């Protein structure tokens, strides 16, 4: 029965991951601005664009807004960024390594989060969401919590999940997300439908007013002719 340990190892290696792996790509670029936005920097990546007229590639550098969780980058650093970590509409990359620091050495700066740490953070955030959603009866979240418990992961309590939600809302307030006026905020699909209805009603009113004006002109002509 010497094959039992190998079967056990295979079973451990073939355990289903809690979250599906994200497709991602890596790029190397230079930090061109930092400190202007909390937890984000601008990285310039050397890319190329195809020219149809001359039928050759020309340099076309592209700037990316990149997440820097620990604010460990300064302008001039050569860094490696990874896609697949969307935190806002424009921030879809995160810094995973400093290739060549500029100025202060890496040892004296806050640590850059590795890919494994980012995956762990992603799992923790998902478990907090699932804990809140399971209270509302979402079956997918309940099944994921059972799977995480079987894998030996720590399941957060409802109080911890709600505390995380409050911390997230406070963080969004600090970043200024959703602090616009009521008229500037997006009203959702219902609001869009209402505006379309209002536009249609206004167009109908215009056509009715035009018809009334044409009738008045016709009556005036009839009176002048008679």
Q: Decide if 211 is inside a domain.
A: no
SS (H, E, C) the chain: CCCHHHHHHHHHHCCCCCCCCCCCCEEEEEEEEEEEECCEEEEEECCEEEECCCCEEEECCEEEEEECCCCCCCCCCEEEEEECCCCCCCCCEEEEEEEECCCCCHHHCCCCCCHHHHHHHHHHHHHHHHHHHHHCCCHHHHHHHHHHHHCCCCCCCHHHHHHHHHHHHHHHHHHCCCCCCCCCCCCHHHHHHHHHHHHHHHHHHHHHHHHHHHHHHHHHHHHHHC
Instruction: Report if residue 219 sits inside a domain.
Output: no
Residues in the chain: 226
| Angle subtended at Cα 85 by Cα 166 and Cα 110, rounded to the nearest 5 degrees | 75
pLDDT tens per residue, range 157-183: 888 888 877 777 777 777 665 555 554
Confirm whether 64 is domain-assigned: yes
Nearest to 15 by CA among 153, 201, 200, 142: 153
- pLDDT for 181: 52
| pLDDT tens by residue, 43-80 | 999 999 999 999 999 999 999 999 998 889 999 999 99
Residue 32 sits in the same domain as residue 93: yes
Tell me what the mean pLDDT of segment 82-88 comes to.
87
Give the pLDDT confidence of 198-219 residue by residue, as tens digits: 777 777 776 777 778 888 888 8
pTM reported for the whole predicted model: 0.61
- Position 177 scores a pLDDT of 58
Given 175, 201, 221, which residue is the final one in a domain? 175
95 with 82, same domain: the answer is yes
Q: CATH no. for residue 65?
A: 2.40.50.140
Tens of pLDDT, residue by residue over 86-103, are 888 889 999 999 999 998
Q: pLDDT band at 150, cuts 50/70/90?
A: confident
**pLDDT of 194:** 59
Domain boundary among 113, 143, 159: 113
pLDDT of residue 1 exceeding 50, the answer is: no
State residue 157's pLDDT score. Answer: 84
pLDDT tens digits, 96-135: 999 999 988 989 999 998 888 888 888 888 888 888 888 8
Range of the domain at 70: 26-113
Unique residue bearing structure tokens 């998902």: 126
Give the pLDDT band (50/70/90) at residue 191: very low
């Amino acid at each position: 029965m010497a094959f039992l340990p190998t079967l056990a190892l295979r079973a451990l290696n073939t355990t289903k991951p809690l979250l599906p792996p994200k497709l991602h790509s890596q790029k190397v670029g230079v930090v061109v601005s930092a400190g202007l936005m909390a937890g984000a920097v601008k990285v310039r990546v050397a890319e190329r664009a195809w020219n149809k007229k001359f039928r050759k590639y020309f340099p076309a550098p592209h700037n990316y807004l990149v997440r820097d969780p620990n604010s460990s980058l300064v302008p001039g650093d050569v860094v490696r960024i990874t896609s697949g970590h969307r935190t806002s509409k424009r921030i879809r990359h995160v810094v995973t390594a400093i290739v060549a620091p500029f100025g202060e050495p890496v040892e004296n700066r806050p640590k850059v989060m590795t890919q494994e740490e980012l995956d762990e953070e992603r799992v923790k955030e998902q478990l907090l969401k699932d804990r809140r959603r399971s209270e509302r009866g979402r079956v997918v979240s309940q099944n994921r919590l059972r799977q995480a418990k079987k894998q030996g992961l720590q399941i957060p309590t409802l109080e911890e999940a709600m505390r995380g939600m409050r911390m997230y809302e406070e963080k969004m307030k600090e970043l200024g997300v959703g602090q616009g006026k009521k008229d500037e905020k997006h009203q959702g699909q219902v609001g869009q439908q209402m505006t379309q209805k209002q536009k249609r009603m206004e167009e109908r009113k215009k056509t009715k007013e035009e018809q009334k004006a044409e009738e008045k002109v016709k009556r005036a002509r009839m009176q002048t002719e008679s």
